[in-house]
């Protein structure tokens, strides 16, 4: 019988720390609901002490999630632990996750604490966390570069203090699978009490080994894996949940372990996180990439036609992938539209359904075919945005090889229409200059990307932009069959997120 490995998802905490992947409260709650639907055991909702916004997001998730454990991260500091406890107070199932660095380089240069003082702080923090919740996780930050005998000592002490999960992170992605697996095995064999608690692994992808290291941990006794959707996270990211889960499911003969994840929800979860964060998945990404189940080689195609197992080791349906087919058009009614959305996993009602239907009909009047990907894109465009302080009313652009690109845009703010015209190096540059003039203050654009949602010259274009304001990056996305309109929508969406974060509702035009 397979062991059940707990899946600890940290998309909302470690994943959000990826540059440009910040999310507002509503977006975090939307992802949390989907993670619960996916079957995640523990949702690390954030780092409560880091900001009021993070605290409020964790609190909102704690109040709404009913089945998954809601976890808040904190340093081994009383003030942090108190904030974490307060943020998850309303959760049905709750966990406090506290950590302190244990490697010589971190203890000496970052903490400036002796090993004995680190143990004292760890034990005290676990004991304090235990006064609030029964479920306490303790992490040895940078365990991969820590002295093994010291790890045995500190882990045995925090277990005595009440820790119920011990996390062994490869914080800087330095370990190889053989080394990391051997570390887990050593700790399992030499640490008193470790067999009575959950052993977790949290691996980063700096050398591209996060998933391999996590699975090596499972092979050597770990009972929990910490990961993120699409592998987003600090620097090169974390272990990708979908890869860890599908590796155990597909190669159960090797790992003899499985999870409670409902794998049919993987693709939808991946796309939701991409749409909300603007962090798109590369085409050749394992499991959820556009090419993961695609075959171009004639030899491969011939094999798949004869027997799919010749070149496919997984069923596409097992991750929720279905062939995109045209089942809706300009003559389709609201009932058929609503039914199709439910097939795709979207439960829309009332005004939300009406708005989505209007957007669909507008697209169907222009496009000959409306695919599932088109529908998902317009839904994402509708669902994931900040309050519209500025609304894009229209954009008109003139460009060509003998004409200087010129853009005229009209924005609405509190019922007032603001119109500006500007020229630029290209049509998008002209549009962004005009929008900046209409908004009335300078904006720093740090990233612009565009991709086609589906094939064909009438494909829906999806644009993602990132703006920087006072060191913080804000993402905006927009979709439209006219990529210049999509570009303008994405820019305005990012500006609205920036203004929401600032807390400014009244902006006087300069």
User: Quick one: 316 and 342 in the same domain?
Assistant: no
Q: State percent of the chain over pLDDT 90.
A: 62
- What is the distance between the alpha carbons of residues 159 and 168, in angstroms, rounded to a whole number? 14
pLDDT at 368: 63
Q: Which residue has the higher pLDDT, 370 or 115?
A: 115
Tell me what the mean pLDDT of segment 308-324 comes to. 75
- What is the distance between the alpha carbons of residues 389 and 23, in angstroms, rounded to a whole number? 17
User: Quick one: 361 and 260 in the same domain?
Assistant: no
Which structural domain range is residue 471 located in? 391-502
Provide the strand spans (E) within 10-163: 42-47, 69-75, 94-101, 136-141
* pLDDT grade for 381, boundaries at 50, 70 and 90: low
User: Quick one: 122 and 64 in the same domain?
Assistant: yes
H runs (alpha helix) in 365-463 = 372-383, 427-439
Pairing type for strands 165-170 and 198-203 reads parallel
Summary count for the chain: helices (H), strands (E): 17, 16
* Mean pLDDT lowest among 118-132, 377-391, 400-414, 442-456: 377-391
Asked if residue 430 lies in contact with residue 397, where contact means CB atoms within 8 angstroms, the answer is yes
Q: SS3 for 122-190, per residue?
A: HHHHHHHHHCCCCCEEEEEECHHHCCHHHHHHHHHHHHHHCCCEEEEEECCCCCCHHHHHHHHHHHHHH
277-300 as b/e: b if 16+ CB within 10 A: bbbbbeeebebbeeebbebeeeee
Tell me what the mean pLDDT of segment 238-254 comes to. 97
CATH code of 17's domain: 3.20.20.70
On whether residue 17 sits in a domain, the answer given is: yes
Identify the residue whose tokens are 């990056």.
473
Q: Which residue has the higher pLDDT, 71 or 15?
A: 71
On whether residue 16 sits in a domain, the answer given is: yes
On whether residue 510 sits in a domain, the answer given is: no
Asked if residue 96 lies in contact with residue 140, where contact means CB atoms within 8 angstroms, the answer is no
Identify the residue whose tokens are 């909102």.
60
Mean pLDDT of the chain: 89
Tell me: pLDDT of 457 over 70: no
pLDDT at 427: 94
User: Quick one: 181 and 300 in the same domain?
Assistant: no
pLDDT in tens, 143-161: 999 999 999 999 999 999 9
User: Quick one: 301 and 364 in the same domain?
Assistant: no
Tell me: pLDDT of 384 over 70: no
User: Quick one: 373 and 309 in the same domain?
Assistant: no
Q: Which residue has the higher pLDDT, 328 or 437?
A: 437
pLDDT in tens, 165-182: 999 999 999 999 999 999
User: Quick one: 31 and 180 in the same domain?
Assistant: yes
On whether residue 351 sits in a domain, the answer given is: yes
User: Quick one: 375 and 423 in the same domain?
Assistant: no
Structurally, how many domains does the chain consist of? Answer: 4
Q: How many residues are there in the chain?
A: 510
Asked if residue 164 lies in contact with residue 197, where contact means CB atoms within 8 angstroms, the answer is yes
* pLDDT grade for 502, boundaries at 50, 70 and 90: confident
On whether residue 328 sits in a domain, the answer given is: no
User: Quick one: 168 and 266 in the same domain?
Assistant: yes
User: Quick one: 87 and 135 in the same domain?
Assistant: yes
On whether residue 242 sits in a domain, the answer given is: yes
On whether residue 327 sits in a domain, the answer given is: no
Tell me what the mean pLDDT of segment 420-424 comes to. 95
User: Quick one: 117 and 234 in the same domain?
Assistant: yes
Q: How many CB atoms lie within 10 A of CB 170?
A: 28
pLDDT in tens, 337-379: 887 788 777 778 888 888 888 878 877 777 666 777 777 777 7
Tell me: pLDDT of 317 over 90: no
User: Quick one: 438 and 352 in the same domain?
Assistant: no
What are residue 328's DSSP bridge partners?
A: 370
Asked if residue 206 lies in contact with residue 236, where contact means CB atoms within 8 angstroms, the answer is yes
On whether residue 284 sits in a domain, the answer given is: no
CATH code of 426's domain: 3.30.160.270
């Amino acid at each position: 019988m397979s062991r059940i490995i707990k899946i600890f998802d940290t998309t909302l905490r470690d994943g959000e720390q990826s540059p440009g992947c910040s999310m507002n409260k509503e977006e975090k709650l939307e992802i949390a609901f989907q993670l619960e639907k996916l079957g995640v055991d523990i949702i690390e909702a954030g780092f409560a002490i880091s900001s009021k916004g993070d605290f409020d997001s964790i609190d909102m998730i704690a109040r709404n999630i009913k089945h998954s454990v809601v976890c808040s991260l904190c340093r081994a500091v009383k003030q942090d632990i108190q904030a974490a406890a307060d943020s998850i107070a309303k959760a049905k199932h709750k966990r406090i996750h506290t950590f302190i660095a244990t490697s010589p380089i971190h203890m000496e240069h970052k903490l400036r604490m002796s090993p004995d003082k680190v143990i004292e702080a760890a034990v005290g923090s676990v004991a304090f966390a235990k006064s609030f919740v029964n479920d306490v996780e303790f992490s040895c930050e940078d365990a991969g570069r820590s002295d093994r005998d010291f790890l045995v000592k500190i882990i045995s002490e925090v277990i005595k203090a009440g820790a119920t999960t011990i996390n062994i992170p490869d914080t800087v992605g330095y370990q190889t699978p053989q080394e990391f697996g051997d570390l887990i095995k050593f700790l399992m064999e030499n640490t008193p009490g470790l067999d009575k608690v959950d052993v977790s692994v949290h691996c980063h992808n700096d050398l591209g080994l996060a998933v391999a290291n996590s699975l090596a941990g499972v092979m050597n006794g770990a009972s929990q894996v910490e990961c993120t959707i699409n592998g987003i996270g600090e620097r090169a990211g974390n272990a990708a949940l979908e890869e860890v889960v599908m590796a155990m499911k597909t190669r159960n003969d090797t790992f003899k372990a499985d999870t409670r994840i409902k794998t049919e929800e993987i693709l939808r979860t991946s796309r939701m996180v991409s749409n909300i964060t603007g962090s798109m998945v590369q085409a050749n990404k394992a499991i959820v990439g556009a090419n993961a189940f695609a075959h171009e080689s004639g030899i491969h195609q011939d094999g798949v036609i004869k027997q799919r197992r010749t070149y496919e080791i997984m069923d596409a349906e097992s991750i929720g992938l279905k062939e995109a087919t045209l089942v809706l058009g300009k003559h389709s009614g609201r009932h058929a539209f609503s039914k199709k959305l439910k097939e795709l996993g979207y439960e829309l009602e009332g005004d939300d359904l009406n708005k989505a239907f209007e957007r669909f009909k507008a697209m169907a009047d222009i496009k000959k075919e409306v695919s599932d990907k088109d529908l998902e894109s317009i839904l994402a465009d509708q669902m994931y945005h900040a309050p519209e302080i500025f609304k894009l009313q229209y954009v008109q652009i003139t460009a060509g090889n003998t004409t200087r690109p010129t853009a005229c845009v009209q924005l609405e703010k509190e019922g007032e229409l603001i119109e500006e015209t500007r020229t630029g190096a290209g049509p998008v540059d002209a549009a962004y200059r005009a929008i900046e003039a209409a908004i009335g203050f300078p904006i720093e654009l740090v990233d612009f990307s565009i991709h086609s949602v589906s094939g064909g010259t009438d494909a829906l274009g999806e644009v993602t932009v990132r703006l920087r304001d006072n060191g913080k990056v804000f993402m905006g996305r927009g979709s439209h069959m006219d990529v210049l309109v999509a570009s303008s929508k994405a820019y305005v969406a990012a500006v609205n997120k920036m203004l929401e974060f600032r807390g400014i509702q009244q902006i006087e035009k300069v």
